[in-house]
Amino acid sequence: MTEDLIKQFTTKYEFLRGFTHVAADAAEAADIAASIIKEVEGQRVALGDLPDKMMQIFEERCWEDEVEVIKPPYNRSDLPDLIDKAHVGISWTKFAIAETGSLVEVNTDDSLRLVSLLPRVHVGILMAENLVKTLPEAAPRLRDFFSSKPSNAVVTFISGPSRTGDIEMRLTLGVHGPEVSHAIVIRGKNGSA
């Protein structure tokens, strides 16, 4: 079932002009992210609220590649400019919806949302076990989140790069957010193989 959901998510996310990658574990996810950073010649990366192990791997990898890392907690007086200057934003996704090709980020800290909204390239990372098939299947997870965090709870649905259509209905990418969007699905449990 998980492989079917990965395939369905990949097909839909790529239809929406995003790029998908499947990793066996956190280390492979870091390798994929590093190759994306190199491809776009990124010199500064903003990290979201990644699990500790993933944060450590990404910091080490960026240090090896001489890429500047900015990470939480973010000083609010430096925002949004600090994250806006990042070439790549890497965020953790609580779950994703396969049928819509949507990464779902849940936060109570607005500064963490900026990581997926401001840099020109966004990389969202999720665990394959956290893929759901439909929006109705996602509803209980969202309800639980809003119940447990009644104030300042924010959900962001990310379905590929930012897009907008002008009056002549020409689609333009990256006007109001990332122009390139990647999703890395990790097959292993909790970011490990």
Structure tokens at 169: 């209905």
Asked if 63 contacts 69 with a C-beta cutoff of 8 angstroms, the reply is yes
Structure tokens at 38: 């190199």
Helices (H), the chain: 2-15, 26-39, 52-64, 81-84, 110-117, 135-148
pTM score, two decimals? 0.89
pLDDT tens, per residue, the chain with 193 residues:
689 999 999 999 999 889 999 999 999 999 999 999 999 999 999 999 999 999 999 999 999 999 999 999 999 899 999 999 999 999 999 999 999 999 999 998 888 989 999 999 999 999 999 999 999 999 999 999 999 987 888 899 998 775 555 555 554 544 556 889 999 999 976 544 4
